[in-house]
A and B are shown apart, each in its own frame.
Chain A
Amino acid sequence: MTSRVLSALLLLVSLAFTGCRSKSAPTFEPLKLADGRVLSAQTLARGHSVYAYYCASCHGEQGDGQGPAGRGMRPVPRSFRQGLFKFGGVSVGELPTDEALKRTLRRGLHGTPMFAWDVPDADLDAVVQYLKTFSPRWKEEVPGKPLEVSADPWRGRDAEAIERGRVAYHVSGAGNAGCSSCHVAYLPRAELAALMKKAFGRDVDLSKVDPYTAQVRESDHPVEVDTKGEPTRTQKVLPPDFLFQPLRTIWAVGDTVEGAPYTPERQREDLYRVIAAGVGGAAMPTWKGAIPEENLWALAYYVQTLVMLRDTDEAEALRARLRGSTMK
């Protein structure tokens, strides 16, 4: 009998010992969002647990992107305190839609340790809601209007779309995006000059520019934060070279994404999505509304041709040809 009492005592003592410093479950108040929704304390508590499992080691317990596993990662794990997301499904700078956040969680981001997490549906929703506790923006602003994917106007006319996309990519103004001013150009100098002459009606002097080297740009995403989680040093980003760098939200055709085969149509749609929305916190702006809708789609078609070439000998040959091209 004494042994039983003794063992019960030991159990209690050890429980007290283990409980004394271990983090107990935080208590949550219901959170009222600016869009009128109220997140229940139960959802937030569940979300906290899911976050602790899947996210905290990289994104940090405070949501500042400074988790122990995230140190030294490039790109840096997202800080949720700014309410700024790269792939939010809305115009750059606006709060993302729940749908876009879930999409990122479900699909992961290429070339980063953000994997496609097998989070159960109930947990998925809880953790997405929990992310909203990190930034005060959610209490002040409503999420942006989701940028819908419009109907593809070029369906069945691929060659035409690619041709239009090439112009929209390399030429600035007059409904074109001029992507090559940040990303690199994919036409030899002579062709580039001819394309510009055709678009502007005059000769453009390309002799003093280097259209084949991407320039590093500032991003708004912090590499370091202070003790309060405010950014002290931001990251620099390089716009991707489509021939050689994997895009974060674009997979190779034939992969399985979210359980379904990744078709060229899906790939194009995802390209459209990034081009239309832009990339939050990076220099890539929102193009939807800035250029005609058919040019957005045409760009998706054109960039897709480059993405398909990625890491092939052909891509290497193309780059050599571009570098070697002169004005002749």
Chain B
Amino acid sequence: MSVDHKQVARRYLWSGLGFLLLGGLLALLIRWQWAWPGQPVPGLAWALPESRGALTPPTYTSVFTMHGLVMIFFAVTPLLFGALGHFVLPLAIGARGLAFPRLSTLGFWVYALGGALVLVSFGVRLGPANAGWTAYPPLSTTAFTPGLGQTLVTVAVLCAGVSAFTYGLNFVVTVARCRAPGMTWGRLPLTVWGLFFASVLNVLFVPVLAAATVLLLMDRLLGTQFFIAGAAAVGGGGDPVVYQHLFWLFGHPEVYILILPAWGMVGDMVSFFSRKPAHGYRLTAGAMGVVSALSGLVYAHHLFTSGMSPMLGRTFMVLTLLISLPAEVMFLNWLMTLWRGSVRLTSPMLAALSTVVVFGLGGITGLALGAVATDVPLHGTLWVVGHFHLTMGAASFLGVFAGLYFWFPKMFGRQLHEGLAKAHVVSSAVLFLGVFGGQLAAGYAGQLRRLYDPYQYTYLKHLLPLNQWTTACAFLLGAAQGLFVVNLVWTLWRGRVADANPWQVGTLEWTCAASPPSDENFERIPVVLRGPHALSQPEVLEQLGRDWVGQAEALPAEAPAISGPQPLLERTS
């Protein structure tokens, strides 16, 4: 069994895409229920014979629980870190591999074990978990979710956490210790910065999730009372709100864990495809650092309505609103990079720009949830759902596809069809706005989250057409993913063989490694001479006749700063 980081990345890619499909199908079931409540879903009668294919309340609860859980723990995180992170990180810093190759393989198998448990849970009596993806007690205690499914899924989340911790640790050590000569911190591609900060967050906060999960499992299996309501009042024991604190101390940084790698990629791609050095490189990297530092300090805005002290609420409100400032810095830097750039709307660039748009909208709608006064009425409504789906769902998804379209030639040595890829990205981005915009509107109109049949309530009856339109967008969004599947299958089967550097950029994975790279990544370890965004500099144009220069490529007038092996591959396309 290979412990090569590229092999591990491919395993994560296929399993992540599989879970993305599963999570997406579950999402469509939720949307079906909101458009046609209680109506049988065509083709689902085999799975739900008692109701002839209609979602019953327990099935519906399971469906939205598993959708959230699968998407976050088994699809988006593994795709961003497991697939893209594992593949790119060592290549981009000029390392032969990850610092602990066996650990990354172990991490994948622990993740696979968790995934298997998730799949098994669909088949057990009483079905899979149905306490919501957050698994709040008392809903997640045996009194309310007595089935084995909830336990299996809780173990699965623990497995996903262990796996996230292992690659987090691995990435941090790799970036800190395994950089190629000359690859100073100031020369790291922004993607690496994003992955690095997110990995630090993984190492710091995933153990908090693991602690909460283990305590919850003890409550379920061993009769402890860490999170049992009222246990504190009758002598010792815990409180369900304690779980919420632990969960969100992980859960809020998780938002940044999911978006920081995407931000990094956006930073790089905006520069690459505007053919300009990234504006304010240091500020962008610094802003990512500030966001990471603040991310754990804002978690309690999830608890404004949970009975937390209003005084604490004020503090957390200020911190939460503060975190938008570094995000602004990044956005402005991206805009400044685009400004007067020679913009090439390739598929990765389109995906990166879509990420910026949907994350921007997600961020703006989040301000209303960060401020106590507006959070109180909006909390628990679909507004929250629309907001976090824009940030964590749409933005992370588009980030994943930006990365995938960008590095696919390097991963598989074949070039995806650009037209299909562009159609996929643009249609996905537009439909994402339709779906989650519809949710924001429904939430602003007062539709509560998680309702099995919202129209039981007179004041929500008029939202049926809106929800049906949103559902139509969701089904179209699902159908649009067919473009990617067709593109992927066709390309892997008989796609065009890719150049070593089809995007004509200077980072190490493109300039110093073959497509796909050999087991050793580089024939010789490159010596890095400059930052990642050396684009459109007059002397480069003059001397090389092209607008880019590799990070490890010496210009004729330039002697390598560090004596050692010379960069291997210098391709002009």
Listed in ascending order, the chain A residues whose CB lies under 8 Å from chain B are 1-4, 6-7, 10-11, 14-15, 17-25, 49, 52-54, 56-57, 61, 67-69, 117-120, 122-123
- The answer on a CB contact under 8 Å between B109 and A68 is no
Chain B 211-249 interface 0/1 with A at a Cβ cutoff of 8 Å (1 = within): 000000000111000000100000000000000000000
**A257 to nearest B CB, angstroms?**
12
- The answer on a CB contact under 8 Å between A11 and B142 is no
- The answer on a CB contact under 8 Å between A25 and B151 is no
**B547 to nearest A CB, angstroms?**
45
Q: A6's closest neighbor in chain B, by CB?
A: B109
- The answer on a CB contact under 8 Å between A49 and B126 is yes
Q: Assuming the A-B contacts A3-B105, A11-B113, are A123 and B147 also in contact, with contact meaning beta carbons closer than 8 angstroms in the complex? A: no
Listed in ascending order, the chain B residues whose CB lies under 8 Å from chain A are 1, 38, 49-52, 54, 56-58, 105, 109-110, 112-113, 116-117, 120, 125-126, 138, 142-144, 146-148, 151-152, 155, 159, 220-222, 229, 452-453
Report the bound CA distance from A22 to B58 in whole Å.
Answer: 19
Report the bound CA distance from A68 to B151 in whole Å.
Answer: 19
Q: Using A7-B112, A69-B144, A120-B54 as known contacts, list a sample of 19 further A-B pairs with CB atoms less than 8 Å apart, ordered by residue number in A.
A: A1-B1, A2-B1, A3-B105, A11-B113, A11-B116, A11-B117, A14-B113, A18-B152, A20-B221, A25-B125, A49-B126, A52-B126, A56-B143, A67-B143, A68-B143, A118-B57, A119-B56, A120-B50, A123-B56
- The answer on a CB contact under 8 Å between A18 and B109 is no
- The answer on a CB contact under 8 Å between B113 and A7 is yes
- The answer on a CB contact under 8 Å between A18 and B126 is no
- The answer on a CB contact under 8 Å between B126 and A57 is no
Q: Assuming the A-B contacts A3-B109, A14-B117, are A22 and B56 also in contact, with contact meaning beta carbons closer than 8 angstroms in the complex? A: no
**A2 to nearest B CB, angstroms?**
7
- The answer on a CB contact under 8 Å between B50 and A122 is yes
**B375 to nearest A CB, angstroms?**
27
Q: Which one of A6, A11, A21, A54 lies within 8 Å of B58 (CB-CB)?
A: A54
Top 5 nearest A-B pairs (CB, nearest first) are: A120-B51, A21-B221, A53-B58, A122-B50, A68-B143
- The answer on a CB contact under 8 Å between A120 and B56 is yes
- The answer on a CB contact under 8 Å between B57 and A57 is no
Report the bound CA distance from A17 to B117 in whole Å.
Answer: 12
Q: B37's closest neighbor in chain A, by CB?
A: A118
- The answer on a CB contact under 8 Å between A3 and B221 is no
Residues of chain A within 8 A of B147, CB atoms compared: 52
Give 24 A-B contacts (CB < 8 Å), ordered by A residue.
A3-B105, A10-B113, A14-B117, A15-B120, A17-B155, A18-B151, A18-B152, A18-B221, A20-B221, A21-B221, A21-B222, A22-B142, A23-B142, A24-B148, A25-B125, A52-B147, A61-B146, A68-B143, A68-B229, A69-B144, A117-B57, A118-B38, A118-B56, A120-B56
Report the bound CA distance from A17 to B221 in whole Å.
Answer: 9
**A18 to nearest B CB, angstroms?**
5
Residues of chain B within 8 A of A49, CB atoms compared: 125-126
**A72 to nearest B CB, angstroms?**
10
Residues of chain B within 8 A of A23, CB atoms compared: 142, 146, 148
Q: Assuming the A-B contacts A69-B144, A118-B452, are A22 and B50 also in contact, with contact meaning beta carbons closer than 8 angstroms in the complex? A: no
Residues of chain B within 8 A of A57, CB atoms compared: 143-144
Report the bound CA distance from A258 to B397 in whole Å.
Answer: 42
- The answer on a CB contact under 8 Å between B146 and A56 is yes
Q: B221's closest neighbor in chain A, by CB?
A: A21
**A322 to nearest B CB, angstroms?**
32
**B457 to nearest A CB, angstroms?**
12
- The answer on a CB contact under 8 Å between B110 and A10 is yes
Report the bound CA distance from A14 to B120 in whole Å.
Answer: 12
**B47 to nearest A CB, angstroms?**
13
Q: Which one of B49, B112, B142, B453 lies within 8 Å of A118 (CB-CB)?
A: B453
Residues of chain B within 8 A of A1, CB atoms compared: 1
Q: Which one of B51, B112, B221 lies within 8 Å of A22 (CB-CB)?
A: B221
Report the bound CA distance from A193 to B112 in whole Å.
Answer: 82
Residues of chain B within 8 A of A22, CB atoms compared: 142, 148, 151, 220-221
Q: B108's closest neighbor in chain A, by CB?
A: A3
Report the bound CA distance from A25 to B126 in whole Å.
Answer: 9
Q: B141's closest neighbor in chain A, by CB?
A: A68
Q: B159's closest neighbor in chain A, by CB?
A: A14
Residues of chain B within 8 A of A20, CB atoms compared: 221
Residues of chain B within 8 A of A120, CB atoms compared: 50-52, 54, 56
Report the bound CA distance from A14 to B147 in whole Å.
Answer: 16
Count chain A CB atoms within 10 A of each CB in B117, B144, B222 and give the residue with the most: B144
**A107 to nearest B CB, angstroms?**
13
**A143 to nearest B CB, angstroms?**
25
Residues of chain B within 8 A of A19, CB atoms compared: 148
Residues of chain A within 8 A of B38, CB atoms compared: 118
Q: A60's closest neighbor in chain B, by CB?
A: B143
**A293 to nearest B CB, angstroms?**
37
Report the bound CA distance from A61 to B141 in whole Å.
Answer: 14
Residues of chain B within 8 A of A68, CB atoms compared: 138, 143-144, 229
Residues of chain B within 8 A of A17, CB atoms compared: 155
Q: A21's closest neighbor in chain B, by CB?
A: B221
Residues of chain A within 8 A of B117, CB atoms compared: 11, 14-15
Residues of chain A within 8 A of B112, CB atoms compared: 7
Residues of chain A within 8 A of B1, CB atoms compared: 1-4
Q: A120's closest neighbor in chain B, by CB?
A: B51
**A306 to nearest B CB, angstroms?**
24
- The answer on a CB contact under 8 Å between A18 and B148 is yes
Q: Which one of A10, A11, A25, A123 lies within 8 Å of B50 (CB-CB)?
A: A123
Residues of chain B within 8 A of A25, CB atoms compared: 125
Report the bound CA distance from A4 to B109 in whole Å.
Answer: 8
Residues of chain B within 8 A of A7, CB atoms compared: 109, 112-113
**B361 to nearest A CB, angstroms?**
35
Q: B222's closest neighbor in chain A, by CB?
A: A21
**B65 to nearest A CB, angstroms?**
13
Residues of chain B within 8 A of A123, CB atoms compared: 50-51, 56
Q: A126's closest neighbor in chain B, by CB?
A: B50
- The answer on a CB contact under 8 Å between A53 and B155 is no
Residues of chain A within 8 A of B453, CB atoms compared: 118
**B59 to nearest A CB, angstroms?**
10
